Structure formats: structure tokens, C-alpha cells
Amino acid sequence: MKKMRAAILGCGVIGKFVADHLIDGAVPGCELAAVYLRSPQSRGREYLESKNIPWVTSLEELMKFSPDVIVEASTHDTVVAMGPEILARGVDFIPLSLGAFVDPGLMETMTEAAAKGGSMLHIPSGGIGALDALQTAVLGGVEKVTMTTRKYSTTWKGIPAVDELGVDLDNLKEPLLLFEGPARECMKKYPQSINIGAALSIAGIGFDRTIIKIYADPGVKEFNTHEIKWEGPAGKVTVLFENTPVPENPKTTYQACLSTLLVLRNMTGRRVIGA
């Protein structure tokens, strides 16, 4: 049986994780075709060449490898610039930089492109889950969705919105509320750190009605935690995720990496659970 061919945009922590697992056969029925890098100087080049993985620096070159699906593990700008074209050319697309969808017109553009190309846009759960239950609840009406995220204090270093607060993250003694408000505003202030808020908003009641709280917390060094709550006619739900950060980039968790593999597995299999 012919294997599904997957390509990857980007070769950072998640890109390497997906590439390694595809090479190792973690997703039966799926093979790695090639990887896109923004330039020959990209840091992932050495890794790719050590694994004999083909790499390119343009979407046109990537398409020559005949991918069936392309995983974006790069930036929000990459989602906007390449996503619609990929879908319009009949290739499925799995974006991981979901904060890009804070642009109110992007989802419609992607959907129209997928309809034109006969392809599919796949939204992964990332570092959270229970999105199937949330989507089910939305059918009956959901009045409120909130998520409280806690990451270790110094994980928030180097983020302009945090730097502006002038907080000494190295010596923080108790949890500090960094943000509370609509997911749309959160995405703009923390674009690289809270993509799960975008996944929650897309699955639920939108960016403007989903409320996000973010804490720098010296007490959660071992895990990144996300407590999600929603309520409506179907009832009330509270879900807590305690995710292990990836050492190379504590802003990313293994759960987020693994969720990409699950999407690929569902695409190659003959059953989907929880949908």
C-alpha cells in the first residue's frame, strides 16, 4: 500500500520531533518527504543533513516531493503566507502556530482554499485536549470558556509583553498574573507562547469570548499547567493538563509534539476516536 507523504515547514523543536518519529516509523503508513527551511543558514540544516533528509528553501521546491500533507512547525507568518496556497494546490495542511488565526479572515481564507483544492485543514489539539468534548458542548450552546495557564517563572523571559512589566522573574516568590482577558488580545501579546489558547478558541466560542489567564509561577517548575473550564446547558466541565516541557524549549511541551503525530496517524488509519 502506498504510504502518505508528509513534509514539514520548519526544523525547530517540534519539526525535529516529528521528523525523527516519522523516520522511526512511529506513524505506520506515513513517510517523511522533505523539510522546508527559511534559508540555507537555518539551524536545522545540519540536523537534516546528518539524517539524509531532503531540505528546500521554497514552497515550489517542496511541492516537487509530492507531499500529501504538510505540517507547519515554523511561525505565524508561515501559516499566513503558505497555508492557503498549500490547501489550494490539493495538499492537506496541519498548522501548529495557531495564533495566526487571530486574524479574523484567515480561517475563511483557509476554508475557501481547501474547498478549491479538495484538501483538508487539520487543527491539532497541541498542548491540551478535550476539544472534541468542547465542540460537542458547543452544539448545545456554551456560555463561558476559560483557561488558566501556569508556566515556570523564567519561561516567560524574552517576551516583550512581560519585559514591559519590569518583573524580576529570576527571584519571583509567588505566582504573578501576567495577563487576563480575551484570547484575541492574548494572542497578540503572547504570540509564540499560547497557541493552545487559539486551539481552544477555534474549537469553542471564538477568540473574543474565550477568556485566558496567564501566570508566571515559581511553583510549577516540573510542568506547564493548563486548567480549562466551560459551562452550558450540557453541564460544567473542568480539565487540568500538567504537561512536561521540552528541555530545549520550555515553552513547548511533549504533548504538543505528540498531538501532531496523532493527526497524522488519524489521517492514515481507518478509525478516528473522540470525534
- Residue-wise pLDDT tens digits, 191-231: 877 899 999 999 999 999 999 999 999 999 899 999 999 99
Q: Are 44 and 15 in contact (CB under 8 A)?
A: yes
Q: Let me know if 122 is a catalytic residue.
A: no
- Residue-wise pLDDT tens digits, 9-43: 999 999 999 999 999 999 999 999 999 999 999 98
Residue 270: per-residue pLDDT: 87
Model pTM score? 0.95
Residue 249: per-residue pLDDT: 87
- Residue-wise pLDDT tens digits, 218-269: 999 899 999 999 999 999 999 999 999 998 888 889 999 999 999 999 999 9
Q: Which of 21, 76, 122, 226 is catalytic?
A: 226
Can you list the domains of the chain with their CATH numbers? 4-122+255-268 (3.40.50.720), 131-243 (3.30.360.10)
pLDDT higher than threshold 70 for residue 275: no
Tell me what the mean pLDDT of segment 59-80 comes to.
Answer: 97
Tell me what the mean pLDDT of segment 93-106 comes to.
Answer: 96
Residue 218: per-residue pLDDT: 96
Q: What are the cell numbers at 219? A: 511553583
